Structure 1
Amino acid sequence: MNRHSGLLAAFALILASGQALAETYTVSVEPSYPPAQAEEVYRPLLDYLGKATGHHFVLSVPRNYHLLWRDIRANAEVHFAFEEAHLTDYRASRFGFQPLARTAETTSYALIAQPDVARRGVEGLVGYRVISMPSPSLGYALLGELYRNPVAQPDVQSAAASWRDGVEMIFSGEAEAAMVPSHIAQLYPNLEPVHRTRSFPGSAFSASPAVPEEVKQAVREALLRLHEDPELFDVLTELGASRFEPTDAAEYRGHERMLSGFFGYESR
């Protein structure tokens, strides 16, 4: 074998080794967008993680929240999850998922409406149409906390394809109010809050115990540096975040109780 052939063989061996070491990991996200839009929103983030870690990341988006909740309870195989506090805690406490990084901003929700409707207050919406993403989304759970009397309820509808769609349904006259994340409510100054919820730790990126420790660490480090990449500014803006910060399971402990009123939840 001449020197040129030897170099080519060595290069091929190195390339093959690199390909062999690269793994494919699934990332589950909440169905707060239609599948095609979710792919558009999260693709730059997954591509960034791929470049930063040398692995391949595939998005997993259930068609709706009911299917997501079914899959979570069954511990369907996913490697990473990006979810709000109640789901993050459930995966961590029941199945050993490890929260790696969270959005720097806390999560809260606002029940918003046109000014004349908002002035009626919370009780003034009883019997009227209120839009929310379905159970067990955090917004739906918080709406349930707000209306505990079973005979004094708004007409809660889950027809929106995304949180923003819920707002648009107010403008189109299809609903009187909508429960949405606060960072979305802030985009509509012509609507007023009927109620603002308490805050929760930000949405977290957590890892299955099946993921090797070195991969978890690489993903954590990549997320903590994500805000340094100007090409990902739009991703963070869409998520209502300025950056990711370190976190752990203790920060989310107890928040799974928000799921206690939903079908299939079993207390321990």
Structure 2
Amino acid sequence: MRWMAGRLVLLLALVVQCWGTVAAAAEPAYLFGVVPQFERRQLFAVWQPVLDEVAKRAGIGFEMTTALSVREFEQDLSNGRFDFVFTNPFHILQERRRSGYIPLVRGAAPLKGVLVVPADSPVSSPQELKGKVLAVPTPNALGASIMMQADLDRLFGVRVKLRDVNTHASVFLHVANRLVDAGGSVQKVLGEQKPEIRDRVRVIYTTRGMPSHPVAAHPRVPQEVRERVRRAFLDLATTPEGAAMLDKLPMNPISAAAMADYAVMEEWGLDKYWDVEGKLK
């Protein structure tokens, strides 16, 4: 009888283990798209640990993906390819009537664009850049390009020639090496540059602040799952290890987000500077 009882206990344990495996496998892996702000290897290095931890806390699975270019990423976003996404907040505004992505969390610190010139450049004011070449990470980068173009145009009466150099890091390299007259980026990324690059550029203008990039969910994701992911991100920031991971995104401090946070930008008339066709102005 003891032998039979032992076999029964072992059998029940195996059933429970198999059931847990099947249940875990049944949980869908959600596709998480990240806008290609950085070089692909760096992007995965900073985002994958965060997504692994958030997925574990939320009890779901994530499959991280990006795109070779921001233009390709924008097309995937418009097509609703991603279940969750981290992207430019103006993308979310532009797509709200089509894909309808719902903001969940964002960096609490405002996003500010910076206009930089070579450190030894004689240029000291945006007015001096009329007709000059401005490097941007992508034409539709919010702080680095859209907001920067709007301010140059409206506040200083300046139109520039954009040069798409694909990444923020490349903007600073182009400016530091005097390959362009000036560059547009954002404060956060400037602070992350190595001293040998950062010391070779000089900020001559900073835009007004705007709400930072959100993590957003497609409406097809169940509300209960969306809330678990929101809570997992917020909880992650309460631990020293989690805060350190979010620092690298950068999205620390972090706060809950809603579409209302970004509504103010609709009043800024930025659509004029949105590069719909992917062609530089």
TM-score range, shorter chain: 0.7 to 0.9
Is 1:108 the equivalent of 2:121? no
Q: Give the Cα separation in 1 of the matches to 2:80 and 2:117.
A: 38
Shift of 1:93: 4.2
| Greater Cα shift, 193-202 or 114-123 | 114-123
> Could you tell me which residue of structure 2 aligns to residue 56 of structure 1?
61
Is 1:88 the equivalent of 2:92? yes
> Could you tell me which residue of structure 2 aligns to residue 71 of structure 1?
76
When normalised by structure 1's length, the TM-score is: 0.85
Is 1:10 the equivalent of 2:22? no
**How many residue pairs end up in the alignment?**
261
Native 8 Å contact 2:137 2:170 kept in 1: no
Q: Give the Cα separation in 1 of the matches to 2:188 and 2:89.
A: 16
Q: Give the letter aligned to residue 11 of structure 1.
A: Q
Question: Taking structure 1 as reference, are residues 185 and 118 closer, same or farther at Cα in structure 2, changes over 3 Å only?
Answer: farther
Native 8 Å contact 2:145 2:185 kept in 1: no
Three-state SS of the structure 1 residue aligned to 2:230 is helix
Q: Give the Cα separation in 2 of the matches to 1:90 and 1:241.
A: 22
CA RMSD of aligned residues (A): 2.6
Greater Rg, structure 1 or structure 2? Answer: 2
**Sequence identity (%):** 20
Question: Taking structure 1 as reference, are residues 208 and 196 closer, same or farther at Cα in structure 2, changes over 3 Å only?
Answer: same
Structure 1 residues 165-176: aligned runs within 5 Å: 165-176=170-181
Structure 1 residues 1-268: aligned runs within 5 Å: 2-3=7-8, 4-20=10-26, 22-73=27-78, 75-117=79-121, 119-138=123-142, 139-148=144-153, 153-159=159-165, 161-186=166-191, 188=198, 191-253=201-263, 255=265, 258-261=270-273, 262-263=275-276
| Greater Cα shift, 119-128 or 75-84 | 119-128
Q: Give the letter aligned to residue 205 of structure 1.
A: V
Native 8 Å contact 2:136 2:145 kept in 1: yes
> Could you tell me which residue of structure 1 aligns to residue 195 of structure 2?
none
Shift of 1:5: 1.9
Native 8 Å contact 1:107 1:202 kept in 2: yes
Shift of 1:109: 0.5
Q: Give the Cα separation in 1 of the matches to 2:89 and 2:137.
A: 16
Native 8 Å contact 1:226 1:244 kept in 2: no
Shift of 1:54: 2.2
Q: Give the letter aligned to residue 226 of structure 1.
A: L
Q: Give the Cα separation in 1 of the matches to 2:34 and 2:167.
A: 13
Native 8 Å contact 2:31 2:82 kept in 1: yes
Q: Give the Cα separation in 2 of the matches to 1:10 and 1:71.
A: 40
Three-state SS of the structure 2 residue aligned to 1:94 is coil
Three-state SS of the structure 1 residue aligned to 2:145 is helix
Q: Give the Cα separation in 1 of the matches to 2:100 and 2:276.
A: 22
Shift of 1:204: 0.8
Native 8 Å contact 1:34 1:63 kept in 2: no
